[in-house]
Chain A
């Protein structure tokens, strides 16, 4: 329907032409206008006007005009001239250095290549960015946006955009003025404002700045401070911000303190499950106490898992639907009476327990770890414990474990739980090759932390390795020109599936040939073999609590020497067997993320024994060297002395090799170790940012049943350095003590040139402060600083727990699921080690694969 406008005339349309368009087909545009040749319209008229509006509303054009080009009688030719809005080719930011920040700005403002660059876009972008900086305290931020035609050969009508950001300096706060505070001093109030600080040249670790969001939090903290002191009615009447100059502002906060109140009568209403006495003990507030609103609120309502509160005891004992209110019933003079009104609701029981997201880990592996069971009374604690257990498995991203309540039904008293898990990579692969020790060394290591032995026989399970039964399988092979080592270990954490009884087995074999460094080849006729097998059973106990694990291991190791002299043995031919039983007790209630525990403790006690052969084998070890058969002889059986000259029986000398072979053919010893770690969160900076203190102490002792036979040169303690158990053929225990070279901290009273054959007693203490940088699934990173001290001793006569080698330093740990743990520590040793004068100084330690 067309209508004439003003003194318009009716025409029949002749030709229609479109000019100025670059991207759209002429026909498309004409079709869009709806004008047809031969159609009758008024010029000017309602129809043309609405066409122009319609085109405008597309936001594609910056100029639209209709022209009459030729009029022949009442036939008019029309020209539609349009000017397209340019599209964005590239956007550049000046004044923003970080790429991530630039990308964020592009994202938030939709500045993708190809968008139409309208005036509106430019203005909103400018305002958006300026506001964004203001919110972070840059009051003088200034944004200018320029566009220029892009020299792009492909399509015309494109522009480049330059966003010039001048963020200026952050404004500082020159003064914070409080008005109306009489009971609390200015400085006390300023202290409660954690982020909004007045300018102070002496406080250089926290600069003064003004961030609006932080300021709001700080104002709330201010009121909380008053509430803690009993000023229940305190409020901020008004606050104002005055701009002093370009760089500084002043804040004025106008307060009304109100009166200080004290606690009057406390009544509990509606409680049937707990008595008034129990609840009031829990509340811990007495009559005439200062009315501390914050604490009272927390003791009553807090739902945080570790807080003691009335809400929590109800939540942990089935009362999911309980509701607890604090009502002030009477206020007189300076005293407040209040009631704790409790609606206990029906006790809730778990109906169904579900798991979703387990695309690899089988149901039974997850369900067996859960502390929440169908038909069981609801408990918040059990849910939290389940999350901890599932996180500790290491199969799921501990940061993304999410329990969800499904269909809570207050009338029936039931609810279902759904645990949403996210699988994380649980396998590690190590493949390396390189030169070392005089030749090429190749290593292949595979470690599957969620393996499935059952899946080995199921061809569908290879994706690419059978997974999901929670078993661990590691394989490792290392070979070079002169040695080979193979190891295989397997662990099933729930043998039989009934109880957490873990079965672990391992097998290892190492064969080493004497390497001739001159000819650079191995002498295959001289070798040293070690064979090791062990089987262990570990069981999680229910007494004294569920965190205790008891383990038993039986192991056997055989060392076989074939004309091969090592530092381990005084003999070059012969063998030595080590058959032992080891008992271990571990109590571990660290939580929640095994990579970065924030609370709990871990104790580890172990005792390792060999059979006391000397009790029954009747060998007189004390006099071995005097016996005839242990005297030094030449190849023909004639007695000789150390120089190789023949001697008479009275002058014979003992053959140390033979004596030692006899002494160590079956090793005889016992070993006790004790270690404890405590984790404590010192401060939380929001979310997962916990500053954690780890306190650690450990002690070890190696002894002999028979002093004549003595402590073998095996299984000893080597303190110092990174603590990585590299090349430990002799069952040695390497203990970390940063700030000193590896295995350098030998007993102090040894002579400077003594051979280091390890100590039989050691102790070590350490304090470590840890702070997470990120705890994402792809990589967990945390920084640490430490203080450590430790020492080793040759016997209890020398034992002095305070004569220690001390050190301090800083470090970094990175955990990636595919690589395990990597880290670097810089430690300074304050004390000297044997054979050296003065402090040991700085050491750098690389940590690989050692967890916790």
Chain B
């Protein structure tokens, strides 16, 4: 039949395109692959074809079609030699889909999930270190999101909301690079809330701000926010003498 030469042509374009990083060739390969793929269903070349199709999408940066095709590939040929690569590239596609921290993070969560699936299935796999880096990247992104939202409450002077959000942040993300800042801004929110309070509420709030400064200093005795904090603490001590 005439599909065989088409298969050969597509494979050639795919290989060359991938090696030379040539988008034009890859796009040509894609057109051919999409066309002949249905005819090879159930045939021996089918396995290679579905993988190539997914990989061409992947190389071309179509991270919506790529995971779909790889997912299909894994369903059809779960024992394929290429299964590990497909699994990794599904996760990696979601990694690339993950938007900026201040937008909807559904894809980020999905990517972390997929990376975890890869890491659990192939703990000794070829892509383990990249996958780990990606997962860390994405986790920091989620941490940044939560931190920035809490920080916005501080900025817009909704100090109670800021304290509640920083509390949640500190409980949810141990080991985050934003922890020190979170500890400091939690203190600062409590401090600003206190000094702007009515007289009856002030003492209690000043004390609670003081407690927050203690937990900051415990973890960051040489912290970069110490000078500002000391200045605020002086103010707190002065005010506390009125009670």
B40 within 8 A of A: no
Q: Is A351 an interface residue (CB 8 A)?
A: yes
A92 located at the interface, meaning its Cβ lies under 8 Å from any Cβ of chain B in the complex: no
Nearest A-chain residue to B146, judged by Cβ: A352
* A363 and B153 contacting across the interface, CB-CB below 8 Å: no
A360 touches B103 (CB 8 A): yes
A498 & B155 in contact (Cβ 8 Å cutoff): yes
A362 near B102: Cβ-Cβ < 8 Å: yes
- Cα(A359)–Cα(B102), bound, Å: 9
**Closest CB-CB distance, A320 to chain B, in whole Å?**
16
Known A359-B103, A364-B102; judge A499-B156 contact (CB<8 A): yes
Q: For A359, list chain B residues within 8 Å (CB).
A: 99, 103-104
Please name all residues of chain B whose beta carbon is closer than 8 Å to the beta carbon of A367 when the two chains form the complex.
149, 152-153
The stretch from A301-309, A368-376, A520-528, A585-593 touching chain B is A368-376
State which residues 140-166 of B face A: CB under 8 Å. 145, 148-149, 152-153, 155-158, 160-161, 163-165
- For residue B168, CB closer than 8 A to chain A, the reply is yes
Q: Is the interface of B mostly helix, strand, loop or mixed?
A: helix
Q: Are A373 and B160 in contact (CB under 8 A)?
A: yes
| Contact in complex: A352, B168 (CB < 8 Å) | yes
User: A350 — which chain B residues lie within 8 A by C-beta?
Assistant: 164
B106 near A356 with CB under 8 A, answer yes
Let me know if A731 is at the binding interface, CB within 8 A: no
Q: Hey, which chain B residues are within 8 Å of A361, CB to CB?
A: 103
Query: Known contacts A359-B103, A363-B102, A367-B149; is A376 also within 8 Å of B160 by CB?
Result: yes
1/0 per residue, CB under 8 A from B, across A370-391: the answer is 0001111000000000000000
B164–A375 touching, CB < 8 Å? yes
CB of B163 within 8 A of CB of A375, answer yes
Identity of the chain B residue whose Cβ is nearest the Cβ of A460 in the assembled complex: B100
Residues on B with C-beta less than 8 A from A374 are 153, 161, 164-165, 168
Say yes or no for A38: interface residue by CB 8 A criterion. no
| B168 / chain A contacts, CB cutoff of 8 Å | 351-352, 374
Q: Which of A355, A363, A498 has the most CB of B within 10 A?
A: A363
Q: Is A437 an interface residue (CB 8 A)?
A: no
Bound Cα distance from A351 to B163, whole angstroms: 11
A498 CB to closest chain B CB (Å) equals 6
Nearest CB in chain A: distance from B172 CB, A: 9
Give bound CA distance, A350 to B163, whole Å. Answer: 13
A357 within 8 A of B: yes
Do residues A355 and B104 form an inter-chain contact, with CB atoms below 8 A?
Answer: yes
Shortest CB distance A641–B (Å):
71
Q: How far is the CA of A499 from the CA of B168 in the complex (A)?
A: 24
Number of interface residues of A (CB under 8 A): 23
Report B-chain residues with C-beta under 8 Å of the C-beta of A373: 153, 158, 160-161, 164
Asked whether, in the complex, the Cβ of A362 is within 8 Å of the Cβ of B157, the reply is no
A270 close to B (CB within 8 Å): no
Question: Which of B106, B145, B156, B161 is the one whose CB lies under 8 Å from A498?
Answer: B156
Residues in B neighbouring A364, C-beta threshold 8 A: 102, 148, 152
Determine whether A766 belongs to the interface, using a CB cutoff of 8 Å to chain B. Answer: no
Closest B residue to A469 using CB positions: B102
Quick one: which of A584-625 are within 8 Å of B by CB?
none
Within 8 A of B (CB), among A716-748: none
A712: interface (CB < 8 Å): no
Interface residue? A468 (CB, 8 A): yes
* B185 CB, nearest partner CB in chain A, Å: 14
Question: Cβ of B165: which chain A residues have Cβ within 8 Å of it?
Answer: 352, 374-375
A368, B157: Cα distance in complex, Å? 11
A76 to B106, CA, bound (A): 66
The reply on A497 being an interface residue by CB < 8 A is yes
The reply to whether the CB of A358 lies closer than 8 angstroms to some CB of chain B is: yes
Does the CB pair B158–A358 fall under 8 Å?
no
Distance (whole angstroms) from the CB of B62 to the closest CB of chain A: 15
Residues B103 and A376 in contact, CB atoms below 8 Å apart: no
A376 CA / B162 CA spacing, docked (Å): 11
In the assembled complex, the CB of B166 is this many whole angstroms from the nearest CB of chain A, namely: 10
A367–B150 Cα distance when bound, in Å, is 10
| Contact pick for A357, options B104, B156, B157, B164, CB 8 Å | B104
Which residues of chain B have C-beta atoms less than 8 A from A363's C-beta?
102-103, 145, 148-149, 152
Chain B residues whose C-beta falls within 8 Å of the C-beta of A368 in the assembled complex: 152, 156
Known: A368-B156, A498-B156. A376 touches B161 (CB 8 A): yes
Question: Which of chain B's residues have a CB closer than 8 A to the CB of A499?
Answer: 156
Q: Which of A359, A367, A376, A497 has the most CB of B within 10 A?
A: A367
Could you jot down 20 A-B contacts, CB within 8 Å?
Answer: A350-B164, A351-B164, A355-B104, A356-B106, A358-B103, A359-B99, A359-B104, A362-B100, A362-B103, A364-B102, A364-B148, A367-B153, A373-B164, A374-B153, A374-B161, A375-B163, A375-B164, A468-B103, A497-B156, A498-B156
- Chain B residues at the A interface, C-beta cutoff of 8 Å: 99-100, 102-104, 106, 145, 148-149, 152-153, 155-158, 160-161, 163-165, 168
Tell me the A residues contacting B by CB distance below 8 Å: 350-352, 355-364, 367-368, 373-376, 468, 497-499
Q: Told that A352-B168, A359-B103, A499-B156 touch, could you supply 19 new A-B pairs with CB distance under 8 A?
A: A356-B104, A358-B104, A360-B103, A361-B103, A363-B145, A363-B148, A363-B149, A363-B152, A364-B102, A368-B156, A373-B153, A373-B164, A374-B161, A374-B165, A375-B161, A375-B164, A497-B152, A497-B155, A498-B156
List of 7 A-B pairs having minimum Cβ-Cβ separation, nearest first: A375-B164, A373-B161, A374-B164, A362-B102, A363-B102, A374-B161, A374-B165
